């Protein structure tokens, strides 16, 4: 699997994931579960690969490294 998420995009995905996941603890009621959407950016920043980037042919990784 070739990495397609790199550099600043990885950092932004991580920050967005943490912010969204924190909603689970901040919000009340059923809206708190919206924060689980933050798991996707956390996962894609951890593995440096995103299915959506692959589907649209986007690659922000400067040096493609296979895994």
Q: What is the mean pLDDT of residues 40-66?
A: 87
Whether the CB-CB separation of 35 and 23 falls below 8 Å is answered with yes
CA 7 to chain centre: 13
Q: What pLDDT does 55 receive?
A: 92
pTM of structure: 0.83
Per DSSP, helices labelled H in 1-67 are: 8-26, 39-47, 51-56
Q: What pLDDT does 63 receive?
A: 75
Q: What is the pLDDT of residue 62?
A: 81
Terminal-to-terminal C-alpha distance of the chain = 5
Interval 11-46: pLDDT, tens:
999 999 999 999 999 999 998 999 999 999 999 999
> What pLDDT score was predicted for residue 67?
58
**pLDDT value for 16:** 96
């Amino acid at each position: 699997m070739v990495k397609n998420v790199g550099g600043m995009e990885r950092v932004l995905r991580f920050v967005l994931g943490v912010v969204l996941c924190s909603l689970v603890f901040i919000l009340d009621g059923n809206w708190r579960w919206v924060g689980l959407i933050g798991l996707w950016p956390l996962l894609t920043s951890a593995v440096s690969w995103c299915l959506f980037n692959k589907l649209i042919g986007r690659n922000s990784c400067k040096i493609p490294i296979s895994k």
